[in-house]
């Protein structure tokens, strides 16, 4: 549990600062689509399936069972998602200590039991070229 919190906190922190960025609308569009698809799994409480759809980096850092327990405990109290609006996106060619292509995305969200939340989600281009979630943080 401690390892997962540290990993997710690291992803959230580096997602907001220290990003070498350029413009890449095509990558941003693909990453946003991947993020929305992944979030639909979370919203449907398909937590194990959400882990299956994460980037290899994420899978290597967070065991599936640990992810399921942690995300269920974190998200279930909020209730159903009511709305989600894109607030911010930034294409990055590297994050500190983690090379690769990323898009840092923030959504303004509302849930049954939490009217205002910010979801930060960081898809990355995986080795096979597909965009997959490598980090998720909610506050």
pLDDT of residue 14: 47
How many domains, in total, are found in the chain? Answer: 1
Is residue 15 over pLDDT 80?
no
pLDDT band of residue 18 (cuts 50, 70, 90) is low
SS3 at position 31: helix
Q: Is the pLDDT of residue 98 over 80?
A: no
pLDDT beyond 50 at 2: no
> What CATH number is given to the structural domain containing 125?
3.10.450.100
Residue 92's domain spans which residues? Answer: 2-138
Beta-carbon count within 10 A of 13 CB: 15
Q: How far apart are CA 65 and CA 85, in angstroms?
A: 30
pLDDT surpasses 70 at 44: yes
């Amino acid at each position: 549990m401690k390892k997962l919190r540290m990993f997710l906190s690291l992803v959230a922190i580096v997602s907001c600062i220290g990003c070498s960025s350029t413009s890449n609308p095509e990558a941003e569009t693909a990453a946003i689509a991947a993020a929305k698809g992944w979030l639909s799994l979370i919203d449907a409480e398909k937590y194990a399936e959400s882990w299956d759809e994460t980037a290899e980096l994420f899978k290597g850092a967070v065991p599936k069972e640990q992810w399921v327990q942690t995300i269920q405990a974190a998200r279930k109290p909020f209730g159903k998602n009511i709305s989600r609006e894109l607030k911010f996106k930034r294409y990055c060619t590297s994050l500190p200590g983690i090379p690769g292509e990323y898009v840092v995305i923030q959504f303004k969200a509302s849930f049954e039991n939490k009217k205002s939340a910010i979801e930060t989600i960081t898809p990355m281009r995986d080795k096979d070229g597909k965009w997959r979630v490598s980090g998720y943080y909610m506050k």
